[in-house]
Structure 1
Amino acid sequence: MGGSGKTTLARKLYNHKTIKQHFNCQAWVSISQEWNPQHILVEILRQAAGITQKTDEMVSIEGLVDKLRDYLKHKLYLIVLDDVWKKDALEDMLPAFPFENRGSKIIITTRIHEVVEFPDLPHFFHEPRHLTKDESWELFSKIALNHRECIDDYQQIGDFEKLGKEMLKKCEGLPLAIIALGGLLGAKGTTEEWEKVSKVVSSKVMGGRGTHTYGTVKDMLALSYHDLPYDLKPCFLYVALFPEDCEIPISMLTNMWIAEGFIMSQEETLEEAARQCLDELIQRCVVQVATSNYAGKVKTIRIHDLMRDLCIKKAKEQNFLEVFHRSSAPLELDEDATRSQSRRCIIHSYSSISVQIGTQNSHLRSLFIFGVAKVTFYCYELRATLSWEQVYKNFRLLRVLNISSSKTFDGTLPAEIGNLIHLRYLGIRGTNIIELPESIENLRNLLTLDYKSVVYFGRYEVRVPNVLWKLERLRHVFLPYDMICTTGLKLSTLKSLQTLCVVWGKNWMLNEMFTLSSSVKRLRIQGISSKEQLMAVFQCQSVTLDQLYSLHINWISCDENVKLQNLELLCHCNHLRKLKLYGRIGEESLPIQFPSKLKKKRLVYTHLTLPETMKNLGRLANLKYISLSTESYVGIEWTCRAGEFPQLEQLIIERLRNLEEWWVERGAMPHLTSLRIQQCKKLKKLPEGLKFIGSLRRLHIAYMSEAFYRWLNHEENNGEITGQGGEDLHIIRHIPTVTIMPQNWRDLSVGDE
């Protein structure tokens, strides 16, 4: 039954401290009604082996099955396959799991008993029960009454409780119905408002109809939707355009809301107003937080399957959007379906799909094509297949075009894209498009260009014409990391620009950096190759006017060091929270000071030498994430003293070739939860002080020296780690999840994080 808490129960098991201590290898994937076997197998391998880099999904299913099975055969593993709808999906997955591993477990959540009927495999069914009255009230009060603890009027609190318990009877112990009701009432501040909801619940939710409990969940979800403020309803319906069980990136979602015109604000930026809308949807429990970043800021959200079904139903009733999908054979839709007047068309599939359209599609405002290998448009009026050029001619009123992770025939974007003069959002990240046409200069209303990455096999150069300066309304520009031909890219006219990732240095730095808009909050620059270009970064108004939130600078190809006086300018950037520095820093004889408000920091090739500089890093009171990578610190010893890194949660130490001794005093890093150590070949052993960090939950060790493994008594035998534990084992015994990779194990890595 949908909404009975299957996934929640599985997640509680998966994250339980005792469970994490028992299994040394874990992975969680969602299968859903449409699945890509390669993607799922790669994701299981990435999680199980602790791989953080991008991975190659072009390997055959058979090759991935062998790779995963080979890795798991000596592991005590726990794998969760969530939301399985078809037995075929399990038949693709199960050969990758060695069932001879006694004690290893696979948890499968599904609504369909037949999916998991494998007579030859030992299994156990568990159907979650409904919550008791007390359990229902506990869950409900956490959501609906949590912010009312400060109320002094005990009579009023009693009224809330009486009304709440009366309404809870209609939920019949179903967790999703309780959460929906709690989210709805949490937005109501008075008992009078609760009484109005109670009347609606009594008369409409059940209404004496004897509705089946599954219908109760849907009734509660519908009530939550109808209670949304008028301006939030389109924002909520928009979530339905993402695939089932997808983790939805907040930045992409809010930028598309803005492009659609859903967000209005006169007192704050559109982005801030969009975030407030998102926060209200989360508080009302109609969407769920999936992941948060180092600062506790929501990074991705998800939506329950039943809530998404309601979303799609309501959106279709209002001609808001139409979803087309098919995971196997090409699809041809009947004429009635394609002649709907929906303003938005969403297509997602893992293979080919054919969509029938008419020539009168001028009503279409948004077109989304996610992860489609090939899409063709068939015009039933002309009885012919339309080219992309013809499609763009028909859809002249498009405001949003998002073809992320899809593939075009020749790796280009047709010149006819310039016909879409009303376009405000163009999303082509993860496509094979390596060239943009000059005609994009016609897109004068464009607010977001999301061209963040390119997936193209073979030699290529990404080409972006020097016409972006004509698109004066641009607010967010994401360009590929491997774009090498932006020497003449002019951007000085973009006065509303907030995000610029990535531009390459070269002459661009000298010509454009000083005229870059002061409104820029996120800036990433690659390929700085001279002292003059490097100086230009720290002298531009985007840095000196203290508006930056995130700064990423890469000057590895430059022989010059960043001078201390330049870094001191950053110390005055009170809004700066993320800082990534790739290149040498000239410490000379003085230690480096870093911006005090930083929460995330990554250093690569900085060649820090002074212990006092490392001590200054430890004094950053707000730092929650730090990565010290590839010669960022070239000292032989490093001591983390008591009181240092007071808020640090994630620490990555990798490719520090000189580091031999690392000490952690008791009281250092008291909130550390995740530690990754890899390719530090001279590091002799783990610091004894790790045993005092009770918050540590995950430790990943990879590609270390033989001596390091001997201290753990984890020796290699034909690529596998053996041994029962040596003198250092007591240091990490309290850590629930420990992953130790052998020296010669090779993953599927093909790129940087």
Structure 2
Amino acid sequence: MFHLVKRKGKKNCFLGIKLCSQVCSSEIDEDHINTLKDIGLKIIQKCGCLPIAVKVMGGLLRERGGLRGDWQRVLDDSKWPTTKMPDDLNHTVYLSYEYMPSYMKQCFLYYSFLPKSRIFHMDQVVAMWISEGFIHGNSSDLEELGRNYYKELVSRNLIEPDKSYVGIWVCSMHDVVRSFARYITKDEALVAQDGDDDILAKLGSQKFLRLSIETNQSKSGELNWKSLQAHQSVRTLISTIQIKMKPGDSLVTFSGLRTLHIESADMAVLLESLYQLKHLRYLKLVNADMSVLRVNIGKMKLLQFLELGGCIKLLNLPDSIVKFGQLRSLLLPRISMVPRGFSGLTNMRRLSLFPAHMDGDWCSLDELGPLSQLRYLHLVQLENVSAASFASNARLSEKVHFSWLILYCTNKLGDDGLVKENESVSEEEQQLIEKVFDKLYPPPGVEYLEIKWYFGRQLPSWMMSTSIVSLNNLTTIIFSDLACCTQLPNGLCQLLNLQFLQVRRAPCIKHVGTGFLQAVAASFPRLNKLKLYDMVEWEEWEWEEQVQAMRCLEMLELRKCRLRHVPPGLASNASSLKILILRDVKHLNYIESFPSVVELTVDGCPDLERITNIPNLQKLTIENCPKLKVLEHIASLERLVLKDYTMEKLPEYIQDIKPRHLQLFCRLWLLSAIAMGQSGIEWDKFSHVEHVKAYADDGDNQRKWHVLYTRGDNCKLDSNISTRNKKHTND
């Protein structure tokens, strides 16, 4: 693709490929893109060869379509040389902004306003957009419309998914894009950091519609509440710093406020006047000392989104909480009980950390029955449900809009992954919790399922083969802390759209048998990532080569178990497997025959002796595997990372392979031997490697001492190890 780009040098070649990767889709194939290479080269030049600019341009071209005329119009657009912006801002982002529909522009600019020091997930961002009035449509569809806008920003590469989270749940905005957006909003929005020398001057320079004051980690300053009160027209106030407050400080001056996110230890002062924010739609309070909410909070009739998760000392809610008839989303703190009357909140879409308390004077699961608009539900303390009928009355299976279900009991496992001595579970308790979970059957539309701290002997019956086929919209399943489960459910392999499966801490599972995969046409047909963590007693994984499964699996991580060998069926069936991570797999002896794996990490595998026949392996990371002796048939290896502070000499296997790069973390004594170069005993083991970077630490800094070696530069070797260091390396 873009073959002619090579004439422009390696950087332009890379950018050409990057542009193509952004534009290619099922509607625009690669062959067609190649016919546009001449225009593509000119567009890359106009992007200033900046990678983020090329990425944003790719998003714009994908939105515009694949016709030559569409690309030519973008190239010839008169807005490229605009003089409206300072030179240090990117004109490609400006062009992408100009091509946006008006509704997208508001959402994009607002995203740039969010503090970088905090994580805002998709539904929080959408809630703020709704609160500001950016999303128009039928009241029942606002969240869905907002998510579509969010997805469009992702598609345009203006925000980028954080790979630490599932899907696009959390995104970030590149600094180049953020700088442009903040420039566009400079007359109506102020983003400042505590500790800035000119923060008061900025606040006093003009009146803003939106204020965002975020934490500057390098400085710890405070701001007086009084300095904010001049901005009486403010619609959004976000503060992640400690604001100094005194008796008499009030929110009353912010009568037009629609969105308030505030983190402050002195918030109790403001609670007296909170109810006066008549137009407030979104409220998030993060306060460690707040123990009560005033009854008059119920007067905020327009409130739609309420987050109290950061109020860790708030034990109960006032009865007036059930008067929020417009409430669409509620994140509760870790409270024990919720007032009765919850069934009247029929606009509720998202309910988090709802406690399943069964006291007759407080709300129970019964009151969730009428909440037919629920999309997201997170239940906690489910061990308190005294009868399965309460769970049945929640009527989860009838909630047709449902997409996320999170079910928590209370933790019974210790740090070692085993059941705590004082948390033994009776057979009667196990039977009851199994019946309760059986009645929490989700509707067919559910996409995300998480179960944590469950202590039944088997997972819900609706996860077995005869029932789970109705849940084919599931894309993500996470099981955590399954204290008493003895086996994984046998129906998961039939889920046609399951892409991510994680099991973490299941101490009673010793054997994963054929039931997990089953002899169906193709088990786990779309599973992309599989993580099996901290299954401390797991010893055997049964999977014969003839059982077809996991053809789309790209990433597998096994951690903290007793698995003796990786099943032959995995190597022969997982033909798309690219990343394999094995950590603390205690009895594993060998790894072999993974033709598709390009990245392998082995860490804390004390019995591992050999790694062989991984022909496409490009990066290998080895940590604390003292018995490893053999590395064979890994001819494509580009990079080897070796970390072991106990080894006294370099392993012999380094001589048997030819990585271009070797990165080594070792004890100072060994590093000193390497630093001796040709006169040292380790020279023959690493001298054939093109680039070597070796480090030792002093307990605090893992790279305090180094040796850098380049073979192609007349075997140049550089080190900061002094003669004095060498004399004391045996200490």
Instruction: Answer yes or no: same fold by TM over 0.5.
Output: yes
User: Is 1:561 aligned to 2:437, yes or no?
Assistant: no
Structural mapping, 1:156-175, within 5 Å: 164-175=40-51
What secondary structure is seen at the aligned counterpart in 1 of 2:477?
strand
What secondary structure is seen at the aligned counterpart in 1 of 2:491?
helix
Report what 2:59 is aligned to: 183
User: Is 1:265 aligned to 2:137, yes or no?
Assistant: yes
CA displacement at 1:414 relative to structure 2 = 2.1
Report what 2:174 is aligned to: 304
| Distance in 2, Cα, partners of 1:343 & 1:671 | 49
Equivalent residue for 1:340, pick from 198, 203, 206: 206
| Distance in 2, Cα, partners of 1:302 & 1:709 | 35
Cα contact 1:257–1:263 (8 A) shared by 2? yes
Relative to 1, partners in 2 of residues 1:250 and 1:736: Cα closer, same or farther, differing over 3 Å? farther
| Distance in 1, Cα, partners of 2:640 & 2:542 | 22
Equivalent residue for 1:219, pick from 67, 91, 97: 91
Cα contact 1:574–1:595 (8 A) shared by 2? no
Cα contact 2:457–2:486 (8 A) shared by 1? no
CA displacement at 1:290 relative to structure 2 = 3.0
CA displacement at 1:387 relative to structure 2 = 3.3
Aligned residues: 572
Relative to 1, partners in 2 of residues 1:222 and 1:139: Cα closer, same or farther, differing over 3 Å? same
Structural mapping, 1:583-602, within 5 Å: 583-585=454-456, 592-593=464-465, 595-596=468-469, 597=472, 598-602=474-478
User: Is 1:353 aligned to 2:210, yes or no?
Assistant: no
Report what 1:362 is aligned to: 232
Structural mapping, 1:336-485, within 5 Å: 337-349=203-215, 350=217, 351-354=220-223, 357=227, 359-370=229-240, 372=241, 374-376=242-244, 387=246, 390-403=249-262, 406-409=263-266, 414-429=271-286, 433-454=290-311, 460=313, 462-480=315-333, 482-484=334-336
AA of the residue aligned to 1:648: L
Structural mapping, 1:529-540, within 5 Å: 529-530=383-384, 532-540=386-394
What secondary structure is seen at the aligned counterpart in 2 of 1:500?
strand
| Distance in 2, Cα, partners of 1:490 & 1:364 | 34
Cα contact 1:244–1:305 (8 A) shared by 2? no
Report what 1:711 is aligned to: 607
Report what 1:616 is aligned to: 491
Kindly provide the CA deviation profile for residues 343-389 of structure 1, in whole angstroms up to 9, marking residues without a partner as x.
0011012322326636543211110012x2x223xxxxxxxxx5385
AA of the residue aligned to 2:134: F
Percentage identity across paired residues of the two chains: 19
What secondary structure is seen at the aligned counterpart in 2 of 1:316?
coil
Query: Tell me, which stretches of 5 or more residues in structure 1 are unaligned?
Result: 1-128, 377-385, 715-719, 743-753
| Distance in 2, Cα, partners of 1:363 & 1:619 | 55
CA displacement at 1:563 relative to structure 2 = 8.1
Kindly indicate whether structure 1 or structure 2 has the higher relative contact order, using CA contacts under 8 Å at least 6 residues apart. 1
CA displacement at 1:570 relative to structure 2 = 6.2
Cα contact 1:389–1:414 (8 A) shared by 2? no
CA displacement at 1:220 relative to structure 2 = 2.5
Equivalent residue for 1:725, pick from 628, 635, 639: 628
Cα contact 1:698–1:738 (8 A) shared by 2? no
Kindly provide the CA deviation profile for residues 77-132 of structure 1, in whole angstroms up to 9, marking residues without a partner as x.
xxxxxxxxxxxxxxxxxxxxxxxxxxxxxxxxxxxxxxxxxxxxxxxxxxxx9876
- Greater gyration radius: 2
Deviates more, 1:433-442 or 1:256-265: 433-442
Relative to 1, partners in 2 of residues 1:407 and 1:565: Cα closer, same or farther, differing over 3 Å? closer
Report what 2:700 is aligned to: none
Relative to 1, partners in 2 of residues 1:131 and 1:562: Cα closer, same or farther, differing over 3 Å? farther
What secondary structure is seen at the aligned counterpart in 2 of 1:473?
coil
AA of the residue aligned to 2:607: W
Cα contact 1:332–1:354 (8 A) shared by 2? no
CA displacement at 1:164 relative to structure 2 = 5.0
Equivalent residue for 1:235, pick from 107, 115, 118: 107
| Distance in 2, Cα, partners of 1:631 & 1:308 | 43
Relative to 1, partners in 2 of residues 1:741 and 1:414: Cα closer, same or farther, differing over 3 Å? farther
Relative to 1, partners in 2 of residues 1:273 and 1:476: Cα closer, same or farther, differing over 3 Å? same
Report what 1:101 is aligned to: none
CA displacement at 1:134 relative to structure 2 = 5.5
Cα contact 1:636–1:660 (8 A) shared by 2? yes
Cα contact 1:691–1:730 (8 A) shared by 2? no
Cα contact 2:332–2:354 (8 A) shared by 1? yes
Cα contact 2:606–2:625 (8 A) shared by 1? no
| Distance in 2, Cα, partners of 1:534 & 1:738 | 53
| Distance in 2, Cα, partners of 1:464 & 1:740 | 52
Cα contact 1:577–1:600 (8 A) shared by 2? yes
Equivalent residue for 1:518, pick from 366, 369, 372: 372
AA of the residue aligned to 1:548: F
Relative to 1, partners in 2 of residues 1:737 and 1:411: Cα closer, same or farther, differing over 3 Å? farther
CA RMSD, aligned part only? Answer: 4.5
Structural mapping, 1:122-141, within 5 Å: 136-141=15-20
AA of the residue aligned to 1:547: H
AA of the residue aligned to 1:200: D
CA displacement at 1:696 relative to structure 2 = 5.1
Relative to 1, partners in 2 of residues 1:249 and 1:421: Cα closer, same or farther, differing over 3 Å? same
Relative to 1, partners in 2 of residues 1:605 and 1:303: Cα closer, same or farther, differing over 3 Å? closer
Kindly provide the CA deviation profile for residues 261-291 of structure 1, in whole angstroms up to 9, marking residues without a partner as x.
1001139611111122122223333333333
| Distance in 2, Cα, partners of 1:236 & 1:587 | 46
AA of the residue aligned to 1:620: L
Task: Tell me the TM-score normalized by structure 1.
Answer: 0.65
| Distance in 2, Cα, partners of 1:364 & 1:549 | 35
User: Is 1:638 aligned to 2:513, yes or no?
Assistant: yes
